Chain A
Amino acid sequence: MTSNRSVIRTEGIKKAYQMGEEVLWALQGVDTHIDQGEFVAVMGPSGSGKSTYMNMIGCLDVVSEGRVFLDDIEVSSLKPDELATVRNQKIGFVFQQFNLLARTSALDNVILPLLYSQIPDSEWKSRAMHCLELVGLAERSGHQPSQLSGGQQQRVAIARALVNDPVMILADEPTGALDTHTTEEIMTLFTELNDQGKTIVLVTHEPDVAAYAKRQMIFRDGSLVADERAENRRSFNIDDYQASA
């Protein structure tokens, strides 16, 4: 199922936050490896470092120690400008709060990443429309976020994440603000995208959501405590890890 091409590799990454006198280690040495085409659910109790891990591999924040490789580029040593380019070309973000620009049409929201790319502006509209079709919102392209339901807004955000044809999609609790039915729709969409070959990493608290993924990583207290693929997940029980939070 998984090809050999590595999308993410982390080597002993640590992240420290200074809290007054004390130093808080949000990540304390995490080694992970994600190949192209994988669908990973990152789980664990609140405060276990899931978001911190996502921010590191998403090039939104820098590690205190260790190294991060994205598409075989060592991103932990890049400068802000280079990181921006990497984010633009290789990563598509989906956020819990959608983060769409208000009073801006769905189409223009999807076009946004293209503004910062090398792609010629003559292609912008057709690319964005294509992505809106993929998420089933082509006929809503002129709508503004306030005129769309939560699920539709998240679809627009997913279209935006796809528009630069990134190597992976990072989603931090993408269904956290959605009801069960809409959650199912969004997860079905992610599954379809993964079937088409997109690498997807998503953070979630819900086992139902994690069940869509083919692999689950469990964090606790800043460490990776379990990493299992679906085929040998028979003995796996998320509650073992959640309960101790």
Chain B
Amino acid sequence: MNLLQLFRIAFTALKLNVLRSVLTMLGIIIGVSAVIVMVSIGEGAKAEVDKQIEAMGGNILLLYNDWNDRMAGGTGAVAKLTDGHAAMMEQEIFGIDAATPIVRSNAQIVAGPLNWRAQVEGTNNGYFITRNWDLAMGRQFTAQELQSGETVVVIGKIIRDELFGASDPIGQTVRVNNFNATVIGVLEEKGPDSRGDEQDDVVVMPLKTVRTRISGVSRNNPDQVSYLEVKGADNVSMNYLKDEITSYLRQAMSVRQDQNDPFRIRDMAETLESRAETQAIFNRLLAAVASVSLVVGGIGIMNIMMVSVTERTREIGLRMAIGAKPDDILNQFLVEAIALCALGGMIGIGLAYAITRIMETSYGMATLINPEIVVISIGFSALIGVFFGYYPALKASRLQPIDALRYE
């Protein structure tokens, strides 16, 4: 008898008791789909991060003032990051493509009868490089506009949609808090970031404009910025760049040897990756817990196979009487258990696929079912079939033909 015939016999037997077969498979179905869903959430988060890092253009360092340190030091006169630092770093440090100063604030934007509260970022044209962000229409800032802090804005997709709809916003005037500004460009759409915050809900202006007209100038540190963004060259190591920037800034800010850095440097890709990694580990843990239900499912299979062997003792006796060898009987019941598990595994995969689709479409969660995990889970459930099906099958094959035939 070949394997195909064994599977035919197995499926015939399972078909005779469809409801029982399905109920038996339920444990495997739930186990497999839970494992795959958990793993695919983790994988999806990782894939999403890779996409974001790519969108970021890689190699981005975020430099911001360390406010904690100021409280610890208590002097109140700690140096702050400035736009001057950005300009100097771009020139002095090898391997920096762009260093962009950003002053962050927010403002009420009004166009005709419509208004919108938006995030405002005061910066220069380096912003479009470090953010890896092109304009959908219009132009960047001119040197003149940056120099004298003119009232011009580049707006994000959401602002454009909210305030202008389908009409052309370029050259239009918007009211920002209490002054008028001219729209000179519209940013391309970027979508939400890894936290789900909308990146397109933003208004970009010359740094000087924001500082003088919106955020106000700090008395102690008039050149202070909210943060600096540094884009490293493609072939430069981020750790090297961090070291270079740290030593440059410590010197530029005249920090004493025994003092901590008054700033923090964050590697954006690293941060995103480690967050995704944490999530993936967490999900793998959940998958491990879910796989316990696979074992429970396996025990269910064993239980039902025992019942099935007892119920079909006379059939076993008959098969032996007409020539089935003990191994034929063993194989028959083993294949039946494997078929149950493998079928359960496949249904589980289908279910997992459906669940991940729902999570993506209804809840916007990123998921990724990779083929590996599908193969592994089918293999694993077949293995469970072998493991838990073996004992009942062995029991069946050890029956004496005459005892089995006589069984009532």
Query: A113 and B326: CB pair below 8 A?
Result: no
- Docked complex Cα distance between A113 and B315 (Å): 13
How far is the CB of A53 from the nearest CB of chain B, in Å?
A: 12
Closest A residue, CB atoms, query B17: A103
Q: Which positions 146-190 of chain A face chain B at CB distance < 8 Å?
A: 160, 164
Q: Which positions 78-118 of chain A face chain B at CB distance < 8 Å?
A: 80-81, 84-85, 87-89, 93, 95, 99, 101-104, 112-113, 115-117
Interface centre among A58, A87, A112, A115 (most CB of B within 10 A): A115
Q: Does B373 contact A (CB under 8 A)?
A: no
| Interchain residue pairs A-B with the least CB separation, the first 3 | A88-B323, A116-B323, A113-B322
Contacts of A99 in B (CB 8 A): 314, 317-318, 405
Query: A101 and B323: CB pair below 8 A?
Result: no
Question: How many B residues touch the partner, as a band?
Answer: 20 to 34
- Docked complex Cα distance between A115 and B320 (Å): 12
Cross-chain contact of B322 among A81, A103, A116, A121 (Cβ < 8 A): A116
- Docked complex Cα distance between A49 and B267 (Å): 90
Q: Given contacts A55-B402, A115-B5, is CB(A164)–CB(B326) below 8 Å?
A: no
Query: B323 and A60: CB pair below 8 A?
Result: no
Question: How many A residues touch the partner, as a band?
Answer: 20 to 34
Cβ-Cβ contact count across A and B, 8 Å cutoff: 64
- Docked complex Cα distance between A121 and B6 (Å): 13
Closest B residue, CB atoms, query A83: B401
How far is the CB of B156 from the nearest CB of chain A, in Å?
A: 68
Cross-chain contact of B323 among A55, A89, A102 (Cβ < 8 A): A89
Chain A residues close to B by CB (< 8 Å): 55, 58, 60-61, 80-81, 84-85, 87-89, 93, 95, 99, 101-104, 112-113, 115-117, 121, 160, 164
Q: Which positions 317-334 of chain B face chain A at CB distance < 8 Å?
A: 317-328
How far is the CB of B333 from the nearest CB of chain A, in Å?
A: 15
Query: B1 and A116: CB pair below 8 A?
Result: yes
- Docked complex Cα distance between A95 and B321 (Å): 11
Between-chain CB contacts (< 8 Å), 28 pairs: A55-B402, A60-B401, A60-B402, A61-B401, A80-B326, A81-B326, A84-B320, A84-B323, A84-B325, A84-B326, A84-B328, A85-B323, A87-B321, A87-B401, A95-B405, A99-B317, A102-B16, A112-B318, A112-B319, A112-B322, A115-B5, A115-B9, A116-B1, A116-B322, A116-B325, A160-B322, A164-B322, A164-B323
Contacts of A95 in B (CB 8 A): 405
Contacts of B9 in A (CB 8 A): 115
How far is the CB of B400 from the nearest CB of chain A, in Å?
A: 7
- Docked complex Cα distance between A102 and B15 (Å): 13
Contacts of B323 in A (CB 8 A): 84-85, 87-89, 113, 116-117, 164
Contacts of B327 in A (CB 8 A): 81
How far is the CB of A49 from the nearest CB of chain B, in Å?
A: 14
- Docked complex Cα distance between A102 and B319 (Å): 13
**Chain B binding surface SS class:** helix
Query: B321 and A93: CB pair below 8 A?
Result: yes
Query: A116 and B326: CB pair below 8 A?
Result: no
Contacts of A60 in B (CB 8 A): 320-321, 401-402, 405
Contacts of A81 in B (CB 8 A): 325-327
Sample of 18 further A-B pairs with CB below 8 A, known A61-B400, A87-B323, A99-B318: A60-B320, A60-B402, A61-B401, A84-B324, A84-B328, A85-B323, A87-B320, A87-B401, A88-B322, A89-B323, A101-B318, A103-B16, A113-B322, A115-B9, A116-B1, A116-B322, A116-B323, A164-B322
Contacts of A89 in B (CB 8 A): 323
Q: Which positions 323-375 of chain B face chain A at CB distance < 8 Å?
A: 323-328
Cross-chain contact of A80 among B1, B322, B325 (Cβ < 8 A): B325
- Docked complex Cα distance between A55 and B401 (Å): 10
How far is the CB of A242 from the nearest CB of chain B, in Å?
A: 24
Residue-by-residue, is B216-257 near A (CB-CB < 8 Å gives 1, otherwise 0)? 000000000000000000000000000000000000000000
Q: Given contacts A99-B314, A116-B1, A121-B5, is CB(A87)–CB(B322) below 8 Å?
A: yes
Contacts of B16 in A (CB 8 A): 102-103
Query: A115 and B1: CB pair below 8 A?
Result: yes
Query: B315 and A101: CB pair below 8 A?
Result: yes
Contacts of B325 in A (CB 8 A): 80-81, 84-85, 116
- Docked complex Cα distance between A242 and B115 (Å): 112
